[in-house]
Amino acid sequence: MNSVRLGRSDVLVSPICLGTMTFGEQVSEREAFAIMDRALERGVNFWDTAEMYAVPARAETYGATETIIGHWLAARPGARAQVVLASKVAGPSRGMPWIRAGKGMTAADIIASCEGSLRRLQTEVIDLYQIHWPERHVPAFGNLYYDPAKEVTQTSIHEQLQTLAQLVQQGKVRAVGLSNETPYGVHEFVRLAEQYGLPRVASVQNPYCLINRSWDNAMDETCDRLGVGLLAYSPLGVGLLTGKYDQSGLTGPAAPQGTRLSYPSVQKQRWGRPEALEAARHYNALAREHGLTPTQLALAFCYRSWRVASTIIGVTSVAQLDENLDAWGVQLSEEVLTQIDALRWKYRDPGQ
């Protein structure tokens, strides 16, 4: 895998990124160590985490993922220089008061969160520091529509950028990014950065997979023209695109135990919609018709898309990691890509 540049920054990463949000919930520290060792061995040098992880989010596991990564880095002298490390500051509370009081995300909040992440990660610098979700009200996480009546923003984008600039100037952050963003947000962050000489966003981490291609409806043009890279998360649709739910269903005792969708909190989210499973079953069937596994089809779709800078894969075992990395060699024919588009036309984006 050749390295790719994130946006117009000087940060070079592998085109596959190790997502770590399962560490500390589904994955023990011992298992996480084995996964990180294997990822680095196979050339994946880009790892993504966040202050709010592990997930599903709860007070008891807040910061657990970063802590595990920090323990791994401390136990592997020299490893930090080999890893491009990304983390995120949580946006406004979203029902998680253990992250911070109130509903906003002030400059002081951003600084405190970054310093907390640095401590847990046992590092002096975060290579890519991202805003996990916008401080303002946006359609995200299954909410389809923007509603100005729900706007409660307290910290302007300009102030957020100024605060991120402070962290960059102090050497605590190399580059900045966004997550769960909209075209307006990306344009505004870039406009203000260019106008005031502030850090330019290098990337946006948004969902992108066969059952959620909402990125293809404006965000792709926005980020291509502005030179901002996509970090595609949930490329397997929280497991729906692996085929593991094709027979069992999504909820109750039928859902495979230990999987993301066996958690009631996840079942209530966008990925738990019956329409999402129905669409996923058709993509999974398409994969099998062409001699591929569902995982190979779903990952190859992201791996080979011009829209994607790096694809974030989340795993719970070394075996899953190897399966996902082995899919790097899969090429999709024009016939398969045409059939994928036909299914999207029919089922749209039920995981949006």
DSSP 56-113: S--GGGTTHHHHHHHHHHHHSTT-GGG-EEEEEE--S-TT-TTT-SSS---HHHHHHH
What's this model's pTM, rounded to 2 decimal places? Answer: 0.94
Kindly write down the DSSP assignment for every residue of 28-57, as one continuous string: -HHHHHHHHHHHHHTT--EEE--TT-SSS-
Residue 249 confidence (pLDDT):
54
- Return the SS3 of 263: coil
Residue 224 confidence (pLDDT):
98
Residue 252 confidence (pLDDT):
41
Who's near 288: CB < 8 A, 6+ residues apart? 294
Tell me which residues are annotated as active site: 53
Radius of gyration of the chain (CA): 19
* CATH for the stretch 4-238+305-329: 3.20.20.100
- Residues in the chain, total: 352
Residue 112 confidence (pLDDT):
96
Report mean pLDDT in 10-residue bins for the chain, 352 residues. 95 98 96 98 98 94 98 97 97 85 86 98 98 92 88 93 98 98 98 98 98 96 98 96 79 58 64 87 97 98 98 97 98 98 97 91
Residue 255 confidence (pLDDT):
62
User: Tokens in use for 11?
Assistant: 């940060």
Neighbouring CB atoms inside 10 A of 40's CB total 18
Name residue, tokens 């996840």: 266
Peptide bond into 56 cis (omega under 30): yes
Q: Which residues pair with 84 in a beta bridge?
A: 46
Q: Which helix (H) or strand (E) holds 207?
A: strand 203-207
